[in-house]
Each structure stands twice: as structure tokens, then as C-alpha cells.
Amino acid sequence: MNTQNPSPENAETTAKLDQTSAPAQLDQTGQVNQAGQLPEADPLDDSPVIAEVFGDSEKLIRMFHEKLVQEGVLRGMIGPKEVSRLWERHLLNSAALAPFLRDFAQEKHIAHLRVADVGSGAGFPGLVLAAMLPEHYFTLVEPMERRCEWLNENIDMMGLKNARVLRARAEQLHGEAEFDVVTCRAVARMSKLAGWVMPLVHRGGRFIALKGQAAQDEIDSAKAQIRQYRGAFAHVDLAPVAQGVEPTHVVSITKR
């Protein structure tokens, strides 16, 4: 289990079998399949886009993808329908944040960012970013024990030396820890999220989050909360993901 601080200085869901119908069969992806049919294949499995986006980290990301396919549904990490769209909706989507972290590190002349990924869940975007950005240090903040176990298993499997798991809620870390960058994905609306994550951002640091199409509306509705927690320069970027893949929305907020 990787629980050491890697500093250079030192609606829970559970997949259930239907007991009322014919005996269920587990297909090779680990999904419950009453008809014994394999799920639809992910159209991006053999796409050159994967190598183009992930580069040197492709091998690690494919290891993570395989574990998600084999165990993700049974362990309640992803829904059954997500298996055939893991690349586009989850892995490539998470990767869209990597350029934002690289740009911030360059802007601030920080060789080794301290990054907290809040509500890491199945590992999006935290595990993906840790694999892609080995020069930076990631703390995956997750309150649920079974998800922490999953995250630790993947850290060990992927051999990530720059990541650790911290079982906690973001609010429990207020006043105890600060980071250069805080990331998250699909955790809550900005009106709530601001009070959870902005206290974790070091002064001059940045909150960078994956959001949906209503990202700008969320920022507009949460202006008071963002200001209350010393957030400034809040904006939304339409971030490219990969050729032929729909772009995603990224919210960035700087801590004053």
C-alpha cells in the first residue's frame, strides 16, 4: 500500500446481481450479463489517439484501463455502460487537465507541483494525471474506504512513486494542508465546491476542475462563494481532448 507522503523532501453505488431473473453470467469484462453476450467494444481501444495523448505513460494508462474493464463494475467503481466508453468519457477526459498543470508549473517556475485531487473516486482525474506527470506529486483525497483501497491497488500496480491516497473529506483538511493545485471532476456545483476546495489552495495557487457544459453558469451563480474564499480570475476554457473526441470544459480559479 502506498500511503507515504511522496514529497521530494521527505450516491455510493455497489453492483448487485439480479436475483429475480435467470442465472447471471459474468462476461470477460466483469459485467453482469444475463444473456451471456459480451458488451460493445470501446471504439478507441486500438486508436492511435491513445498513444498520441498519453505518450510515455500509455503503458501505465492501459494497465489502469484493463483493471477498470476487469473489476470496475463488480467493485462499484464505474457503471456497466461505462466499460465501452472508458477512453473517451473518463481517461482522455481526465488527460485534458494535464496541459493546464504543465502550464501552471511553467508559469510559476515550480519544478514539482503539490497537487490534491479531491474526491478521486475511481481515479479520475487523479490517477491519470499522476501517470502522465511523474515530476509532480499527487495526493488523492477520498473519504470512502473501498475507493481508497482501489486507488492504492492501482498506485501499486502502476508503480506510481509520485502519488499517495489520503482517506478524508476535503473539509477535514482545512487548516491542515495546502497545495499548489487542487483538481476535481464531477464532485459538486461550484456554489458548494468553492467552500470545500479553495481553503486547500495555497495563496497564488490554482483550482483546476473538469466541468460540464453549464460550467460558466455555475461560476456566475457562485461568484459570492468564490470571492468569500479568496478566489479570483475564475474562467472556463473549452479544452481539446483528442482528434475526433468532443472537447471538455475546464474551470480555473486562482487563490488570492
124 is in an annotated binding site: yes
Instruction: Tell whether 76 is in a known binding site.
Output: no
Gap between the Cα atoms of 57 and 64, Å rounded: 11
* Helix orientation angle between 145-158 and 58-67, rounded to the nearest 10 degrees: 140
Confirm if 173 and 150 have CB atoms less than 8 A apart.
no
Annotated ligand binding at 244? The verdict is no
Distance, CA of 72 to CA of 86 (rounded, Å): 11
SS3 210: strand
In sequence order, which residues have a C-beta less than 8 Å from that of residue 7 and are 6 or more positions away? Answer: 114, 137
Judge contact between 219 and 236, C-beta under 8 A: yes
Ligand-binding site membership of 54 (annotated): no
Strand-pair partners of 141:
118, 166
Establish whether 170 is an annotated binding residue: yes
Question: Which residues fall in the annotated binding site for S-adenosyl-L-methionine?
Answer: 119, 124, 170-171, 185
Question: Which residues fall in the annotated binding site?
Answer: 119, 124, 170-171, 185
